[in-house]
Chains A and B, each alone.
Chain A
Amino acid sequence: MAKGEPTAEWDLWLYVAGQTPRSVVAFANLKKLCEEHLAGRYHIEVVDLMENPQLAKGDQILAVPTLVRKLPEPIKKIIGDLSQTERVLVGLNLRERPPAGE
């Protein structure tokens, strides 16, 4: 457990562009998933590119919403409204990738 540590074990950044229905859904999906699988070990940072457009360049953001796993390394990117939970879990390496031939 990460109790007392200054930074959470899982550092997740969610890039959105304005408070669109899609970004709200993405955040809700992310929050739910984190509570189920990473309770107490995560930190979510929401970055609104409408307010901070210069931040899009740093993490090479093109699609919105994009979830960037900053920690644990290596950096992983997941795009979309995060509605396909299984794929999000695979993307975050919380699940083994299903055998090829989807």
Chain B
Amino acid sequence: MYQKRNTAGDYKGELEKCPTGIPGLDQITGGGFPRGRPTLVCGSAGCGKTLLAMEFIVRGAMQYNEPGVFMSFEETEEELAKNVRSLGFDLKDLVAHRKLAMDFVRVERREIEETGDYNLDGLFVRLNQAIETVKARRVVLDTVESLFSGFTNTGILRAELRRLFRWLKEKGVTAIITGEKGEGAQLTRQGIEEYVSDCVIILDHRVSDQLFTRRLHIVKYRGSTHGTNEYPFLITERGISVVPITSVGLTHTVSSLRIPTKKGGQK
């Protein structure tokens, strides 16, 4: 029988997806991000990483009844709440209803004396605490690379990040890790794409011929088909909108009604 297929990924046997609820994005990812795995979203400053991550969490809590944790390394809870209020997102209300937990992690810029061996169990404890309080299914770490400015021992840090991403997978939460655009071939400053290998998305914005365009590109999506183009997207008053032309489904029903036109013939 004819099957309606207006998204790219209605294929059977693919890995389970976690819908973002962002118009257009779920179409080009074939249903959303890989469920239970971390996705890396990277791009330069101002490209919309934090907003995309926040929408993923807010829409998850509001539309899909999946509570989330937003761990921020750059902006405080108040700043974040203020930033997205204009989009109609009420973070305080979500927190009050135990659908969202926020934790601002302040990374001191090398003010800390390092004396011998340590690990980042403090971070794990905090994240775990936040996940447990709201029974979170979704987690955002924005931007975890900030840790590199606070600790001098990058060997320990890299090992701990690797452990962190593995731990997130074991927890079964769908995560977004954001990263600042790196130099040269590296997607992120510290090359964390090496540890997050399931799904990688690049956000970009440029001005050409005086036209400002934001673009989204799925660089990698392990175990899934996905749109491979660079898709323009908008940040509107209702959040992010990725509107690829392929998502305009031809779903109108065809009329079989006969309508006489009375043209010619009859006299």
Whether both chains belong to one complex is answered with yes
Q: Does A91 lie within 8 Å of B126, measured CB to CB?
A: no
A63 to B106, CA, bound (A): 12
> When the two chains form the complex, which single residue of A64, A82, A90 contacts B120, counting CB atoms closer than 8 Å?
A64
B255 at the binding interface (Cβ < 8 Å): no
1/0 contact string of A62-100 vs chain B (CB within 8 Å): 111110000000001111111110011011000000000
1/0 contact string of B97-126 vs chain A (CB within 8 Å): 000000101111001111111111111111
Which of B106, B111, B120 lies at the interface centre, i.e. has the most chain A CB atoms within 10 A of its CB?
Answer: B120
A-chain residues with CB within 8 Å of residue B115 when the two chains form the complex: 78-84, 87-88, 91
> When the two chains form the complex, which single residue of B116, B117, B147 contacts A62, counting CB atoms closer than 8 Å?
B147
Chain B residues in the interface with A (C-beta under 8 A): 103, 105-108, 111-126, 128-129, 147, 150-151
B-chain residues with CB within 8 Å of residue A18 when the two chains form the complex: 121
A54 to B132, CA, bound (A): 12
A87 to B115, CA, bound (A): 6
Chain A nearest CB, measured from B119 CB (Å)? 6
What is the size, in residues, of chain A's interface with B at 8 Å between Cβ atoms? 31
Q: Does B105 lie within 8 Å of A60, measured CB to CB?
A: yes
A87 to B106, CA, bound (A): 23
Using known A-B contacts A53-B128, A56-B122, A62-B120, determine if residue A90 contacts B113 with beta carbons closer than 8 Å.
Answer: yes
1/0 contact string of A2-18 vs chain B (CB within 8 Å): 00000000000001011
A77 to B113, CA, bound (A): 7
Complex: chain B residue closest to A20, CB-CB: B121
**Beyond A60-B105, A87-B115: 6 further Cβ-contacts under 8 Å?**
A17-B122, A54-B129, A64-B120, A66-B118, A81-B115, A82-B115
B-chain residues with CB within 8 Å of residue A22 when the two chains form the complex: 117-119
